[in-house]
Amino acid sequence: MSFPIDLLINAIIAGLLLGGFYAAVTSGISIAFGILDIVNIAHPAFIILGSYIAYIVNSQFGLDPILTSIAILPAFYALGAVVYQVYYVSFERRGQEALRGLAFFFGLLFITEVVLILVFGVDYRYVNAIYIGPTLHFGFVDLPLRMLIPCLVSLLLILLLQIYLTRTFTGRAIMAVAQDQEALRLMAVNPIRIKRTAFAISIATTSLAGAFLIVIQPVEPSVGRDYIGRVFAICVMGGMGSLPGTVIAAMLLGIVESITATFYGPSWAPAVSFGFLLLTLAFRPAGILGR
Amino acid sequence: MAPLLEVDDLSKRFGGFVALDGVSLAVAPGERLGLIGPNGSGKSTLVNCLCGALHNESGVVRFDGTNVNGMTAHQRTRLGMARSFQLPRPFTSLSLADNLRIPLIYSANMRRGSHFTAAEIENRCGELLRLVGLDAKARRLPRDLTQVEMRKLELARAMGADPKLLIADEAMAGLSHSEIEDILKLLDQLNQRGITIILIEHIMRAVMSFSQRLVVLVSGKKIADGKPQDVIRDPEVERAYLGQ
Amino acid sequence: MRSWLFTLILAVAGAALFALSRFIQNDYFFFAGYVVLQYIVLSTAWNILGGYCGYVNFGTAALFAIGAYTTVALHKLLVTSRIYPMSMPELIVIGGAVSAVVGLGIGYLTLRLRGAFFSIATLALAVVIQTIITNWDYVGGSRGAYVIRPPSAPLVGSYIQYLFLVMLVLAVISVAVARLIERSRLGYGFATIRDDEIAAEASGVPTLRLKLIATTLSGALMGMAGAPLPYYVGYLDPASGFNLAYAVNSIAMPVIGGTTTWIGPLIGAVLLGTLQQWVTVTISSAVSLLIVGLLLVGFVIVAPNGLVGLVRPLFVRGKG
């Protein structure tokens, strides 16, 4: 029996495309969890929210989901700022973020899911766009546009984020806020404001990630749960807060999942990311690219 | 007499940064040792390696004749090596009395082999509270304490482990003149009971009056070890302090 | 109060509750009561690790489902094939033991890490275990499995009343265990882990061992709560066994009741459990879950010490 090499190559390429999308999904958590140390397990809920907004606008007005999500970035930014303010006042300032902060985000995750179920039911929803459907063919290699477009936009988003974080004053302050709040104070920068900005950016990315998600696959309210493990697995594997590390870890996970799905069946795919995460946590908590 | 604590060629690095570089040190039973050095010289890292909060890459720590390398922090505490923290770390949800019960239950108890009775624990707890003058606040929570009271709680809790060696990590930073005298008197009292004390301190006046011997760390290396008056005049020590 | 006396009072209260409920000739009461009692066990079990030690476990559903699926497997292996008719207490002990081992395992894997990583790892664990069960055909895979309930039960005759009694006993046991821990050396040790692990170690507390005790105990109780489930529902599939509602409720109930003491999870489970049963019947189960979510978020923001904290504003640990 010959090994199906074309199947393997296609699985790897599909995995890379999937990984590009995972990178967008995780970039926000890399900022919130990796840099700010805020364990926002509700992150995937915001992504699903982004998906449903893209769905509503698309089905009502026929607008492109990805362009829509870019247009509503400011709204998600504002939402993130509000959530951070509540989190800061209620937990961080009181030094209770450990137990109660986690419960808070878990509650948000759950509320979002239940509200979406109440409003939209548990049916799968999908969007229409010209790039959903066509596939580019190069020999035996398939490049579905619905995967390729999100992947490319995602990499662009992460490039912009990386430039912002390393080249601008606010960006550098964000990178520094976790390590040395005192130094920031001495530079007359308010660390709370910086953290709020960073968290707001983190939530803003979910608008785009949500649009990508619904472009790639139909969405129902509980889909987000599968992403909790993925985003944290990627964030930890990528070395907590490093965007280049996030991209590499995301690609890696995408490839492993894609190969698993191709050769063992898709029902095992969720266990792959979570299993990866468990192993990473147990044996290499600093991530594959470890700091 | 055999030393109580013996540190032999201890090294510790964080990534590429060498925090401790071949430090050797011996402390005799009942001794009062001062440990000084500029910020970032490795004092805190040394304390953490001694107490087991960090693990050293190379070198040996021997306590009371036992090699404690590889022992966890709680095992070392049970052997008789107690510490206070630079920034007080009380158990915030427990009352002062309960804070002191913890080392009594989990450490002093364990070493003795047989368990304390409830009455014995109460007695010792009351004794510790009186020792540091906090008996009036036994039922209060740590958040109700002043800075100096917090430091005293920290020392009392370390004493609850019934230690042979007490490592006081900057127990006086930020305190007023009279408060420093208070703490010094307390440490002196403990030493009178036969407890060996390592005092890590920035306040030179306090270190000079308390220590019988002074050790100076600079950039993770021990650069001086001897009588306080001699060490302080050591040209290398002067350079390290004035040069920074 | 002495622990044996407390346990005795608790047992008498339980017996009285059961005796009274026998007058109610309505099976719905037992169906609903079973769920509330099950939540008393789950929230008390969660609180041993979450409330006492400060380690947030999102994997309640997994440990609970392991207990339930152990029963499914044993039922198929022994009862259906008539090798050995296993009784409910035996199933509960075995289900609890399996979940205890899994709890110990997850503790070993993750408890050396900071608290947040532990929480994320428990989430991951839940999905891994769910995937394994979904792909395990012997226990029904994704299609689920039927477990035929015996027509009558020992002691009380009606099987649903028997299940209610079993869960009542488990609830009494778990509350008694929680209170016993609280008043013991272990409870003090747990509290220091919650407050400051480094300071705890420096005071001689063997933090890792204590945390492993907590995960094992908590896992065992969750597994025990899950073991009777297949007989209660009659049909078990992964979607219901691993329902997120278990994870949310087991967190929401202690947080709303108050996490520092045994009575918090008890109050939370009774109030929230009853409320949910009522809303599920009168409105819908989705709305009842929404209420739980809103209460959880509302309480952590407004009343961080739960109902117990509201009633006793300056709640300081007892004399011990």
Q: What is the ipTM of this complex?
A: 0.90
pLDDT of residue C206: 93
Q: Does the residue A288 lie in any domain?
A: no
Please tell me which residue of chain A has the smallest CA distance to C246: A110
Q: Do C135 and A268 touch (CB under 8 A)?
A: yes
pLDDT of residue C103: 92
Q: Do C56 and A104 touch (CB under 8 A)?
A: no
Q: Do A111 and C290 touch (CB under 8 A)?
A: yes
Q: Does the residue A92 lie in any domain?
A: yes
Alpha-carbon gap, residue B97 to C315, rounded angstroms: 15
Q: Do C287 and A274 touch (CB under 8 A)?
A: no
Q: Does the residue A209 lie in any domain?
A: yes
Among C195, C204, C320, the residue with its CB nearest the CB of B103 is C204
Every domain of chain C and the residues it spans: 3-243
CA nearest neighbour of A242 among A195, A151, A170, A178: A178
**Residues in chain B with pLDDT < 70?**
109-114, 242-244
Q: What residues in B contact C313, CB-CB < 8 Å?
A: none
The minimum CA-CA distance between A246 and chain C, rounded to whole Å, is 17
Mean pLDDT is lowest, of A30-34, A193-197, B37-41, C35-39, for: B37-41
pLDDT of residue A287: 53
Count of the separate structural domains present in chain A: 1
pLDDT of residue A236: 84
Q: What residues in A contact C113, CB-CB < 8 Å?
A: 281, 285
More confident residue, C172 or A143: C172
Chain A residues within 8 Å of chain C (Cβ atoms): 33, 37, 39, 41, 86, 90-91, 94, 96, 98-104, 106-108, 110-111, 113-115, 117-118, 222, 225-226, 228-229, 232-233, 236, 267-268, 270-271, 274-275, 277-278, 281-282, 285
Per-residue pLDDT, averaged over A267-271, amounts to 74
pLDDT of residue C244: 83
Alpha-carbon gap, residue A47 to A27, rounded angstroms: 12
Residue type, A83: V
pLDDT of residue B112: 63
Q: Does the residue A289 lie in any domain?
A: no
Chains that touch A (3 or more CB pairs under 8 A): C
Mean pLDDT is lowest, of A34-48, A277-291, B24-38, C117-131, for: A277-291
Q: Measured in Å, how far apart are chain B's first and last C-alpha atoms?
A: 38
pLDDT of residue B97: 92
Q: Do B74 and C188 touch (CB under 8 A)?
A: no
More confident residue, A136 or C211: C211
The minimum CA-CA distance between B156 and chain C, rounded to whole Å, is 11
Please tell me which residue of chain A has the smallest CA distance to C123: A229
Q: Do A278 and C124 touch (CB under 8 A)?
A: yes
pLDDT of residue A156: 94
- In this predicted model, what pLDDT tens digit does every residue of A52-107 receive, in sequence order? 999 999 999 989 999 999 999 999 999 999 999 999 988 888 776 678 888 899 99
CA distance readout (Å), C56 to B151, C104, C210, C284: 31, 15, 15, 29
Please tell me which residue of chain A has the smallest CA distance to C119: A102
Q: Do C203 and B94 touch (CB under 8 A)?
A: no
- Tokens 């690609």 -> residue: A251
Q: What residues in C contact A229, CB-CB < 8 Å?
A: 123-124, 127
- Tokens 């891994």 -> residue: C128
* Domain B5-89+161-242 -> CATH class: alpha beta
Residue A285 banded pLDDT, cuts 50, 70, 90: low
Residue A277 banded pLDDT, cuts 50, 70, 90: confident
Q: What residues in C contact B106, CB-CB < 8 Å?
A: 185, 188-189, 203-206
| Mutate which: A30, A38, A85, A114, vs C, most C CBs within 10 A | A114
Q: Do C251 and A106 touch (CB under 8 A)?
A: yes
pLDDT of residue A284: 61
Q: Measured in Å, how far apart are chain C's first and last C-alpha atoms?
A: 10
Share of chain A above pLDDT 70, in %: 93
Res. A33: pLDDT tops 70? yes
Res. A32: pLDDT tops 80? yes
Res. A159: pLDDT tops 90? yes
**Over its length of 320 residues, how does chain C's per-residue pLDDT go in tens digits?**
677 888 888 888 888 888 787 777 778 888 899 999 999 999 999 999 999 999 999 889 999 999 999 999 998 888 667 777 788 889 999 999 999 999 998 888 777 766 778 888 888 788 888 888 988 888 888 888 888 887 777 777 788 889 999 999 999 999 999 999 998 889 999 999 999 999 999 999 999 999 999 999 999 999 999 999 999 998 999 888 888 889 899 999 999 999 888 999 999 999 999 999 999 888 888 898 899 999 999 999 988 888 988 887 654 444 33
Q: Does the residue A291 lie in any domain?
A: no
Q: What residues in A contact C293, CB-CB < 8 Å?
A: 107, 110-111, 114
What residues are paired with B8 via a beta bridge? Answer: B60
The minimum CA-CA distance between B130 and chain C, rounded to whole Å, is 19
> In a 3-state reduction of DSSP, which class is residue B122?
helix
Q: Do B74 and C199 touch (CB under 8 A)?
A: no
Print the SS3 string covering chain C: CCHHHHHHHHHHHHHHHHHHHCCCCCHHHHHHHHHHHHHHHHHHHHHHHHCCCCCCCCCHHHHHHHHHHHHHHHHHHHHHCCCCCCCHHHHHHHHHHHHHHHHHHHHHHHCCCCHHHHHHHHHHHHHHHHHHHHCCHHHCHHHCEECCCCCCECCCECHHHHHHHHHHHHHHHHHHHHHHHHCCHHHHHHHHHHHCHHHHHHCCCCHHHHHHHHHHHHHHHHHHHHCCHHHHHCEECHHHHCCHHHHHHHHHHHHHHCCCCCHHHHHHHHHHHHHHHHHHHHCCHHHHHHHHHHHHHHHHHHCCCHHHHHHCCCCCCCCC
Residue A1 banded pLDDT, cuts 50, 70, 90: very low
